[in-house]
Amino acid sequence: MPTSALRLARFTGHLLLALAAVAMLVVFFLALTALTDGAGSGLAAWLTTLGAGAVLAMWRGRRRTWPARLVPFLPVVVAAALTASVCIPTVPTARRYPPALPSVATQHWSLATGSRVAVYHYPPANSGARHPVPFVYLNGGPVRGISVLDHRFLQLLARQGYDVYAYEQAGGGRSDLLPMDQYTISRSVSDLAAFVDRLDKGPVDILGFSSGGVVLTRALADPSTAARLHRAVIAEPGPMDGPTAHITGHKGRESARGLAPAMTGPRSTHVPRYAVAFGLMRLGLLTPGTGLIGQAEGDNAFTAADLGSDTASAYCAADAHRIPAEDTAQNFSFSPAASLRIQQTVKDSPSIAPQLRQSRTPAMLMIAECSSQVRQWATAILAHDPAIQRTQYMPGVGHHLWNSLDDNDDRAAAVITAFLQDKPAPLPNHPARDEVPAFLRDHE
């Protein structure tokens, strides 16, 4: 073999060994990060990795002449530089709250639970008939700001004579953060009861969407909280308790997930620090209260583009190429750690079915044709809550039932207002309780 070929082979071999050493050290760092739960912003894992790499490099270079002894340190330096990027914040570590919306004033209410939440009020704009019962909106998330699309829908209800209130749940949007261990589904229900008490206008009509529907369902199962509710609309709920959360089943008709163009804009997951933090959190290898990134830093870093195909999954496949902008970059707010923490407390909770069977608050269930939610999450509520008076299957829409496309907002409003006013439903009562087996069997 020619000398040049031998040199190339030897160089390639050394390069592959160096790359393997770098990869080994990076994997070691990630494993230590998980084992230490990101202690000290990852520095505990980084220093340990650097020390272990240095010891290994010294051992490998022990029989070499002095200049050659430095060569084994090259992979250590490269790995140290790569992993150091996981330890260095690139956004402020103190919470940056979204600026005020131009369309509505932001109030801040301190609740009896200790939560301080951002509140939005849309007084009835209709000069005609006004509805005497206040209307409260619980958005999804679980810990997320109310989107511009949702605010637009609330304004529509106000124009129809409703006195509309909405609040961002603790930690979401412009609401103050909580210590991580205080984010629980029980706290969310307690905050709802405290909010109605703070409103001090008697029982309220309430619309709970997605994870807000979970809070509402659990409120209906709690007699003291349910006494504060006049009528309840549960729209596209998540799982109501641990047993329901572990149900596997089909979803609605095909959504736009995988069909819509990729979301544009900056992504925190393109930054090594947040890609590692959010990735390991999602895998359950870091706790929501991890020492790698603080709650405020994570909230500041997370962007709408990080939701990726989750947004597309809220729309029907037919709408894949006309999905509206749900929010503005300035208003968008999502807390991944707090949301995971609340979701975990739902998964860990015992069945609420026995308590829900005692519910007497008139309720309605809304289900989307192209829902991205497991169907049994909604049908379990229907099966166990005897006070659900009607189910409205919404054709032509996905998880985000009101989305400013076509007449979807008006149709959703018509369904909600008909129930709140105890008028005939615009759509058939489907699925009724006795139709649920066929509904699930036919994959509607």
In the block, residue with structure tokens 């040199």: 7
- Identify whether the C-beta of residue 288 lies closer than 8 Å to the C-beta of residue 225: no
- What mean pLDDT is predicted for residues 235-259? 93
Model confidence at 118: pLDDT above 60: yes
Contact residues for 209 (Cβ-Cβ < 8 A; gap 6+): 137, 138, 139, 140, 150, 235, 236, 401
DSSP state, 414? Answer: H
Count CB neighbours of 427 within 10 A.
Answer: 16
Q: Which of 237, 194, 247 is nearest to 215 (CA)?
A: 237
What does residue 328 show for φ and ψ, rounded to 5 degrees? Answer: -100, 155
Angstrom distances, CA of residue 327 to CA of 65, 211, 304: 62, 18, 8
The reported pLDDT for the residue numbered 86 is: 94
The Cβ-side half-sphere exposure at 4, using a 13 Å CA radius, reads 0
3-state secondary structure of 420: helix
Model confidence at 105: pLDDT above 90: yes
- Identify whether the C-beta of residue 379 lies closer than 8 Å to the C-beta of residue 442: no
Q: Which of 121, 131, 159, 161 is nearest to 409 (CA)?
A: 159
Beta bridge partners of residue 266, listed in sequence order: none
Cis preceding-peptide flag for 142 (omega within 30 of 0): yes
Angstrom distances, CA of residue 38 to CA of 29, 92, 112: 10, 18, 34
- Give CA–CA dist 42/40, Å, rounded: 5
Q: Spell 326-340 as b/e; 16+ CB within 10 A means b.
A: bbeeebbbbbbbbbb
The reported pLDDT for the residue numbered 301 is: 95
- Give CA–CA dist 84/74, Å, rounded: 15
The reported pLDDT for the residue numbered 68 is: 59
User: Which tens digits make up the pLDDT trace of 267-302?
Assistant: 998 899 999 999 999 999 999 999 999 999 999 999
Model confidence at 127: pLDDT above 80: no
Contact residues for 437 (Cβ-Cβ < 8 A; gap 6+): none
Q: Among 72-86, 139-153, 193-207, 391-405, which stretch is predicted with the lowest mean pLDDT?
A: 72-86
Q: Residue type at 371?
A: S
- Give CA–CA dist 333/316, Å, rounded: 24
User: Which tens digits make up the pLDDT trace of 25-34?
Assistant: 899 999 999 9
Model confidence at 72: pLDDT above 80: no
Confidence category of residue 17, pLDDT binned at 50, 70, 90: confident
The reported pLDDT for the residue numbered 300 is: 96
User: Which tens digits make up the pLDDT trace of 301-328?
Assistant: 999 999 878 899 999 999 999 999 999 9
The reported pLDDT for the residue numbered 442 is: 83
User: Which tens digits make up the pLDDT trace of 192-216?
Assistant: 999 999 999 999 999 999 999 999 9
Nearest 5°: the CA angle 131, 135, 137 is 155
Model confidence at 64: pLDDT above 70: no
User: Which tens digits make up the pLDDT trace of 163-176?
Assistant: 999 999 999 999 99
The reported pLDDT for the residue numbered 202 is: 96
- Tell me the residue length of the chain: 444
- What mean pLDDT is predicted for residues 363-384? 95
The reported pLDDT for the residue numbered 22 is: 83
Q: Which of 14 and 243 is assigned the larger pLDDT?
A: 243
Count CB neighbours of 223 within 10 A.
Answer: 12
Element holding 21 (H helix, E strand)? helix 3-35
Mean pLDDT of the chain: 92
3-state secondary structure of 216: helix
The reported pLDDT for the residue numbered 443 is: 80
Model confidence at 228: pLDDT above 70: yes
Q: Residue type at 67?
A: P
CATH 3.40.50.1820 fits 107-441, yes or no: yes
The reported pLDDT for the residue numbered 18 is: 72
User: Which tens digits make up the pLDDT trace of 297-307?
Assistant: 999 999 999 98
Model confidence at 2: pLDDT above 70: no
The percent of residues above 90 in pLDDT, for the chain, comes to 79
Rg over alpha carbons for the chain, rounded to the nearest Å, is 26
Q: Among 16-30, 40-54, 253-267, which stretch is predicted with the lowest mean pLDDT?
A: 16-30
Count CB neighbours of 52 within 10 A.
Answer: 16
Task: For the chain, give every domain's residue range.
Answer: 3-84, 107-441
The reported pLDDT for the residue numbered 29 is: 92
- Give CA–CA dist 185/237, Å, rounded: 14
The percent of residues above 70 in pLDDT, for the chain, comes to 93
